[in-house]
């Protein structure tokens, strides 16, 4: 019996020691109260326990800690039973223990009717901080009520001391928080520009929240503005800004605060945000990222993203973060509205002039001088002017050898890329038919000669004239056939290189007079052919008429690393013909100029490569350079 009493005494002493240590704890109230009622319930063999405290907002009672089968003190909806609340409030008002035995009718109709309950106020220097509700079975002997109440009062007294100390700390922290918040609001109200305001907000929020870093995203332009509380490495700033912007846009679209903890799996709908969060984690030392909307009424004017070092720190600072955003929302909205109203800007300018007239006047004079200098430079200082046009490279001399006679190509005696001379045979057309016809004509002439001699011998003048006329006709026919026979040898007209490919396919093909057979080009000389818009042609012509050479730079699309140069010196380069340009809905005029190819093999330009040409014409002012098309449009439409 004495051994059991010793064990009970040891349990009680350990519980009392734990109560004393918990009264000096720095942990959160919910954690301390849970440990306290757990120790109390185990030491007294209670079936359940609840720690009640008044809500500071509305004075209602709320359960800050629960143990065991405490659900019997609540309804099915999870709300405290009205009879429990009445008893708790009565114990608070009387500031003395309340015992509810099973034979009382206070909790009739509930499971609590079959229990014995103690309601012990948590008192600190006469001030009730809350009530401990300890629930025992109905079989608890009334003779031990006094001992149980005394033991529970020890726990309630320790809880009261702890809660009173925590309340003092909370009030001090709230006072400091209010002072810091007042300071932040004052600083924000002193800023006029939204850009400077969000930068000041980020700097002020960081020490208040004890955060690793604070970023504020503002929305008043097409592109959001991002400001950080700390300097960001230039090499990493672009990545960090992009991650912050996209996360803030997500919060803005969903219109709810969001919190992410490192190494904790994301929800399915947040999987796309994983790489962005990794960028933030890798560029800082944060374990928790909390994002809160900065809004005024229904308008979202910004988002605050705060990086915390731990979840405990985030839990403590998140309420303050929300308060800061609530206070900053109207201020930022007012700054945006003020900054983007022209009349408000004018009023700020006039206010600056009243405050510092000399300084403001000097700035105005400097601004006027600067504007006049810029206008002088734009309208009167000549600058190099260029005309740009599509262009292509072509051989200066290109010979297209056509079929001189009709017939079948008998053979081709040259190959693609072979150099040839003017007059050199390139191909031969089958001359069998021509030779046969020539033989027939020769025989016919010989026969007519015999007839002519016989007619002369007879003195038959009509027959003589007929034979002579027939011989003349046959002679003309003979010369034509002889010329066609000579033309069956297709010869080059110029010195150059054979360009035509697949020459072997010409053999055996029947051609008509004028059909193209072989292309021969002189690769020693090339020309640049440019198609200049009709509105730019006058610029080139005026430069040439004023005896100013027009320099040309050509950049081929096939070889963009090789710039070729040429110079136009006379008006003969301008072609009188033009053609339509559907892309610009204008006509283009052709300008040709000889060009010396630099660092480019002539064989590379056999395909007539295209590109862009830049022609430097007479210098003109920047106003004329960029406004001439508008001025021409006005002249052609409104003034003509």
SS3 of residue 419 by DSSP = strand
Decide the pairing of beta strands 213-218 and 574-581.
unpaired
SS3 of residue 281 by DSSP = helix
pLDDT digits (tens, 9 = 90+) for 185-211: 666 666 678 888 888 888 888 888 888
DSSP, residue by residue, 121-190: EEEETTEEEEEEEEEEETT--GGGHHHHHHHHHHHHHHHHHHHHHHHHHHHHHHHHHHHHHHHHHHHHHT
pLDDT of residue 346 exceeding 70: no
Higher pLDDT, 247 or 379: 247
Which residues are registered as beta bridge partners of 389?
613
Give the pair of three-digit tokens for residue 96.
Answer: 């003395």
346, with CB counted inside 10 A (0-12, 13-18, 19+), is exposed
424, with CB counted inside 10 A (0-12, 13-18, 19+), is middle
- The hierarchical CATH code for the domain 191-340 is 3.30.450.40
Calculate ∠ Cα 483-488-494, nearest 5°.
95
Question: Tell me, what's the pLDDT at 623?
Answer: 84
- Tell me which H or E stretch contains 485: helix 461-487
CB 318 within 8 A of CB 311: no
List the single range of 4-18, 27-41, 154-168, 269-283 with lowest mean pLDDT.
4-18
List the single range of 264-278, 294-308, 334-348 with lowest mean pLDDT.
334-348
pLDDT digits (tens, 9 = 90+) for 143-175: 777 888 888 888 888 888 877 777 666 545 554
Question: Tell me, what's the pLDDT at 557?
Answer: 82
Q: How confident is the model at residue 249 (pLDDT cuts 50, 70, 90)?
A: very high
Which position has the token pair 């340009």?
A: 581
Q: Which residues of 478-499 are buried (b: 16+ CB within 10 A; e: fewer)?
A: beebeebbebbbbbbeebbbbb
Question: Tell me, what's the pLDDT at 177?
Answer: 54
Nearby residues of 486 by Cβ (< 8 Å), 6 or more positions away: none
The ranges assigned to domains in the chain are: 2-172, 191-340, 397-511, 522-637
Q: How confident is the model at residue 213 (pLDDT cuts 50, 70, 90)?
A: very high
Give the pair of three-digit tokens for residue 58.
Answer: 């509305």
Selected from 2.60.120, 2.60.40, 1.10.40, 2.40.30, the CATH number assigned to the domain covering 522-637 reads 2.40.30
DSSP, residue by residue, 334-382: HHHHHHT-HHHHHHHHHHHHHH-HHHHHHHHHHHHHHHHHHHHHHHHSE
How many whole angstroms separate alpha carbon 524 and alpha carbon 497?
Answer: 10
Are domains 2-172 and 191-340 of this chain identical in fold?
yes
CB 67 within 8 A of CB 60: no
- C-alpha distances in angstroms, 618 versus 142, 213, 622? 116, 58, 13
List the single range of 288-292, 479-483, 489-493, 573-577 with lowest mean pLDDT.
573-577
Nearby residues of 270 by Cβ (< 8 Å), 6 or more positions away: 260
Higher pLDDT, 417 or 306: 306
Question: Tell me, what's the pLDDT at 528?
Answer: 85
CB 144 within 8 A of CB 45: no
Which position has the token pair 């449009």?
A: 633
pLDDT of residue 88 exceeding 60: yes
CB 546 within 8 A of CB 619: no
DSSP, residue by residue, 257-275: -EEEETTSPPPGGGGGGHH
Per the CATH hierarchy, to which homologous superfamily does domain 2-172 belong? GAF domain (3.30.450.40)
pLDDT of residue 615 exceeding 60: yes
Give the pair of three-digit tokens for residue 234.
Answer: 């230039």
How many whole angstroms separate alpha carbon 133 and alpha carbon 567?
Answer: 103
Higher pLDDT, 431 or 1: 431
Residue 305 has what DSSP assignment? E
Of 591, 573, 616, whose CA–CA distance to 534 is shortest? 591
Number of residues that make up the chain: 640
How many whole angstroms separate alpha carbon 566 and alpha carbon 614?
Answer: 10
Higher pLDDT, 539 or 347: 539
CB 516 within 8 A of CB 400: yes
List the single range of 341-355, 385-399, 462-476 with lowest mean pLDDT.
341-355
List the single range of 98-102, 118-122, 327-331, 635-639 with lowest mean pLDDT.
635-639
Average pLDDT, the chain: 81
CB 73 within 8 A of CB 65: no
First-residue to last-residue Cα distance in the chain: 124
pLDDT digits (tens, 9 = 90+) for 507-539: 778 888 888 888 887 777 888 888 888 888 888
Q: Which residues of 230-249 are buried (b: 16+ CB within 10 A; e: fewer)?
A: eebeeeeeebbbebbbebbe
CB 615 within 8 A of CB 595: no
Give the pair of three-digit tokens for residue 463.
Answer: 């027959």
Residue 410 has what DSSP assignment? E
């Amino acid at each position: 019996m004495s051994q059991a009493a010793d064990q009970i005494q040891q349990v009680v002493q350990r519980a009392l020691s734990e109560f004393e240590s918990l009264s000096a704890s720095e942990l959160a109230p919910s954690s301390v109260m849970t440990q306290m009622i757990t120790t109390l319930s185990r030491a007294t063999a209670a079936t359940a326990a609840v720690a009640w405290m008044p809500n500071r907002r509305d004075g209602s009672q709320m359960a800050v800690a629960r143990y065991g089968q405490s659900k019997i003190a609540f309804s099915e909806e999870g709300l405290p039973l009205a009879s429990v609340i009445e008893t708790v409030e009565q114990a608070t008002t009387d500031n003395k223990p309340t015992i509810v035995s099973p034979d009382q009718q206070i909790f009739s109709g509930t499971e609590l009717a079959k229990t014995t309950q103690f309601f012990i106020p948590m008192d600190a220097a006469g001030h009730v901080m809350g009530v401990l509700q300890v629930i025992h079975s109905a079989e608890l002997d009334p003779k031990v009520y006094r001992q149980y109440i005394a033991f529970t009062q020890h726990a309630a007294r320790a809880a009261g001391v702890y809660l009173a100390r925590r309340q003092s700390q909370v009030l001090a922290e709230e006072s400091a928080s209010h002072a810091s918040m007042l300071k932040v609001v004052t600083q924000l109200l002193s800023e006029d520009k939204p850009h400077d305001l969000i930068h000041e907000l980020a700097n002020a929020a960081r020490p208040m929240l004890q955060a690793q870093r604070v970023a504020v995203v503002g929305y008043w332009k097409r592109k959001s503005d991002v400001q950080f509380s700390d300097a960001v490495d230039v090499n990493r700033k672009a990545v960090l800004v992009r991650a912050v912007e996209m996360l803030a846009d997500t919060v803005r679209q969903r219109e709810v605060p969001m919190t992410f903890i490192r190494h904790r799996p994301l929800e399915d709908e947040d999987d796309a945000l994983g790489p962005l969060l990794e960028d933030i984690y890798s560029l800082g030392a944060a374990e928790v990222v909390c994002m809160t909307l900065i809004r005024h009424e229904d308008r979202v004017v910004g988002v605050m993203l705060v990086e915390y070092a731990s979840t405990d720190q985030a839990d403590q600072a998140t309420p303050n973060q929300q308060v800061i955003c609530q206070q900053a929302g109207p201020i930022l909205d007012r700054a945006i509205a003020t900054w983007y109203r022209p009349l408000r800007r004018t009023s700020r300018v006039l206010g600056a002039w009243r405050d510092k007239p000399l300084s403001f006047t000097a700035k105005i004079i400097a601004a006027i001088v600067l504007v006049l200098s810029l206008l002088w430079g734009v309208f009167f200082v000549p600058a190099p002017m260029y005309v740009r046009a599509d262009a292509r490279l072509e051989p200066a001399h290109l010979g297209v050898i056509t079929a001189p006679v009709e017939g079948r190509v008998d053979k081709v005696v040259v190959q693609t890329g072979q150099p040839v001379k003017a007059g050199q045979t390139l191909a031969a057309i089958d001359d069998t038919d021509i030779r046969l016809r020539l033989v027939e004509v020769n025989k016919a002439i010989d026969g007519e000669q015999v007839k002519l001699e016989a007619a002369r011998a007879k003195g038959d003048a009509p027959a003589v004239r007929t034979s002579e006329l027939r011989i003349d006709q046959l002679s003309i026919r003979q010369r034509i056939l002889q010329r066609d026979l000579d033309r069956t040898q297709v010869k080059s007209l110029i010195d150059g290189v054979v360009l035509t490919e697949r020459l072997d396919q010409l053999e055996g093909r029947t051609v008509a007079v004028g059909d193209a057979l072989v292309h021969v080009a002189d690769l020693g000389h090339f020309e640049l052919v440019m198609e200049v818009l009709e509105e730019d042609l006058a610029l080139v012509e005026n430069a040439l008429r004023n005896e100013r050479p027009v320099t040309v730079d050509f950049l081929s699309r096939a070889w963009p690393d090789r710039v070729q140069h040429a110079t136009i010196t006379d008006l003969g380069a301008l072609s009188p013909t033009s053609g339509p340009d559907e892309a610009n809905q204008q006509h283009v005029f052709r300008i040709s100029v000889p060009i010396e190819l630099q660092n480019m093999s002539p064989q590379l330009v056999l395909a007539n490569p295209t590109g862009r040409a830049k022609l430097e014409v007479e210098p003109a002012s920047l106003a004329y350079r960029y406004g001439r098309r508008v001025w021409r449009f006005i002249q052609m439409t409104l003034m003509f």
